[in-house]
Amino acid sequence: MSLANVRGLVLANRSTPQLMMAHLKLLSPQYRHLGTSMPESMAVSSPSSVAPPSHTDHLHLSSHDYKSILEAENQHRCMDKMRNLPAFPRPKTLTPNKHEKNVSSVLIALCQERESDLVSLLYTRRSRHLRSHSFQISFPGGRRDPHDACNVDCALRETEEEIGLPRDRIKVWGEAKELHLPRTSSIVPVVGVIPDFHISELHLNMEEVEEAFIVPLNSLIMPKATRHTQFRSGYSGPVFAVDHYRIWGITGYLTHLFLHSLLPPNLLPDCLKTNIKFIRPFKIPPKPAHHHKQSTTDPSMRD
């Protein structure tokens, strides 16, 4: 695995699976800038199953493409789509619980990288100290507090608390439609741009965040990075495999929706034009009929 593009505080080239897994155990903050050079043999996944992509297309965003993506016209088109996202179809088997009464906001940050033409998305890995979803990849954000003026205020406050990024560094595009998801709080994605960004300017709160990293848009739209997983509870969802990171679950779902909103049709690769449903129930084979009659041929059933 080549990590030649890693920038920030961690610059080691970890070329073996042992080193790759060992660095996840470090207690110090982790800052990463990722590529997509990880061999498939080293793939590790938290979901129950991850299917490799069957597509061969590869769009590469140019400097001109990055510039056009961030222009006002595309910004308005993107946010219009984000405000009209489809409802998340709820599986019948998942009954509501108390967590669904809460509202959270997350920041989907487009990072204009310093001294380069790259535009990346900013992710965090949740701290090992958290009681739920520890070590999982997420966007900065959290539950809305009573004193938050709005969803944007919540996302910016949580971002500053988690990774030390001041709110005045973020040019907010707006907030998306509130997404009602099963078994968790509803989520309001807030989209913003961080100009002249460098990963080293982050200051992580280790009680909440284990590490922070950025993934270039080009890495997320590569065919070998786009996958899906089938969960045991009966639904499937998108997965983005970049180096040894697996962006899945709600974060993978939000990433997929955002890329569909951000990228104009001529820049949307075939590997993202999937018909995979986010809810795809599977049929469980019927259980064999119970025979209450005592068998005369089975020795274990004899008196």
pLDDT score recorded for residue 264 = 95
Assessment of whether the complete model's pTM goes beyond 0.85: no
> Is 216 a residue whose pLDDT tops 70?
yes
Q: With bands split at pLDDT 50, 70 and 90, how would you rate the model's confidence at 206? A: confident
Instruction: Report the alpha-carbon distance of residue 5 to residue 113 in Å, rounded.
Output: 12
| Per-domain residue ranges of the chain | 17-89+96-285
Mean pLDDT computed over 13-28? 29
- Percent of residues, the chain, with pLDDT higher than 90: 44
- Could you name the CATH architecture of 17-89+96-285? Alpha-Beta Complex (3.90)
Residue 173 near residue 193 (C-beta atoms within 8 A): yes
User: What does the mean pLDDT of the chain come to?
Assistant: 75
- Of 198, 219, 228, which Cα lies nearest the Cα of 31? 198
The larger pLDDT score, comparing residue 152 to residue 7, is at 152
Mean pLDDT computed over 10-29? 29
Q: With bands split at pLDDT 50, 70 and 90, how would you rate the model's confidence at 291? A: low
> Is 257 a residue whose pLDDT tops 80?
yes
The larger pLDDT score, comparing residue 203 to residue 91, is at 203
pLDDT digits (tens, 9 = 90+) for 33-50: 554 333 333 333 334 444
The larger pLDDT score, comparing residue 175 to residue 274, is at 175
pLDDT score recorded for residue 229 = 77
